Chains A and B, each alone.
Chain A
Amino acid sequence: MASPCELLLEGKGEAALRRGAAAAIAEVRRIESKFSRYLPHSVVSRINAAAGGQALDVDAETASLLDFAASLWESSEGLFDATSGVLRRAWDFGARRLPQPGQIESLLPLVGWRQVEWNGTRIRLPQPGMQLDFGGFGKEYAADRAAGVLLEHGVAHALVNLGGDIHVLGPHGAPGLAGQPWQVAIERPRPGVSGPLATLAIERGGVATSGDYERFFELDGKRYCHILDPRTGWPVCEWQSISVVAANTTAAGALSTIAMLKGAQAVDWLTAQGASWLAVRADGELLRHPPLAGGQ
């Protein structure tokens, strides 16, 4: 998963908890190996390798995720685009330099879910060089699936954390804490001040954060972050970070990712989607909805 992951389980019967944990970890590994674009034999890598060539038949789980990508593209009016990853070729955040003139323009024709030939069972990326990835919801889906495996193993008090994408499966179960919500700390998007930005009390559900601080560089006083608008190929940096609390982690992840791309419309859109959120604007101001949720 290329990020620190943790699994916190509380309850009675160590052997059963260990079995549940092992099964949940196996499920996360299964999803990673099936859908990671970095692993050459993953379904996603095979789809990308076939770009410009033959259509590929996919299994039911992959089909569900592709349908989900399509519905995110629609609900975000094209801002969330599972084919936008190719733009990373133009943005080298390590080298701290702007794309070469014409570089973005040459990549933009390869971006666009609209071009993808997807009929519910067969997928084809029509142009060589097009790339698909499940960033923004893949890791989150793994957190939800891991929680589902724990639930099937009778675990009722657990927290799954895959690199900051969190699924809380029921309140604490440890003696003295039983029934209490988990305290989920939200990281500060900028260094300097110690302590978390906020601590949210979560009894059940998903939490995910998108931030402009994961990959970025500053040049001539301007910040360039890795949140790229698939229509222009340029970064959208109106928010330092947006955290979303939703009924599952996949929804929280998709909502926070899309909200980062929404710019000034982010908060209205999130609220209309029925989400609870916590956002830090580019100027550092903290906004939240509902106003008193969680507490500092």
Chain B
Amino acid sequence: MPDPTSLEETVEFSENPEPRCPCVLLLDTSGSMQGAPIAALNDGLRVFEETLARDSLASRRVEVAVVSFDSVVTVVQDFVTADRFAAPTLMAQGLTHMGEAIQTALDMVEQRKATYRANGVAYYRPWVFMITDGEPQGESPDAIETAGQRIHALDNDQRKGVAFFAVGVEGANMDRLRQLATRAPVKLLGLNFQEMFLWLSASMHAVSQSQVKDQVALPPPGWAGVT
């Protein structure tokens, strides 16, 4: 009769790198976000950090990057695993270079995938999660047009290059967002960033633990209104 604990003690596991689930937060920090909106967004980011950190598998698998956009596009945080993610405190000022910001986020996603492939790391479809309270401002119409075309080319059922989500805060031009992204944009109820980030971390949890064929059922958003 074999010792009941023998399998657990004797079977050794293959050392594969943890699969990764990349997520870019693309955050509008233009002047109109000043005051209550940017404060609520910063609080929401801290909720995101805390929720992911409590989730042992997600904190090793989810990789978070933060890009802010106003008159300049800034990579506030390049990809880090969620256990090393520290929520930044963002300031609001300037115009809304949304097109350039989208290109930056999509470039980062492509580069990250290349890095995963080069290192034999398995990965999940990347997410770009854009939050804005306005519309493109201060850049050429071409910039947003090209960015929108790139989203449409990447985020579809054939290519599946990325999943691009747009969230509009009060004042956002929802019609522009509808044209921009493949997926219907979602309007944030008030400044309920906390609920939104709780939903995002729950979704990241679901994605990062999904094995090949589970349908990733995301919790229904309690923070979104009908657009």
Q: Do A and B come from one complex?
A: no
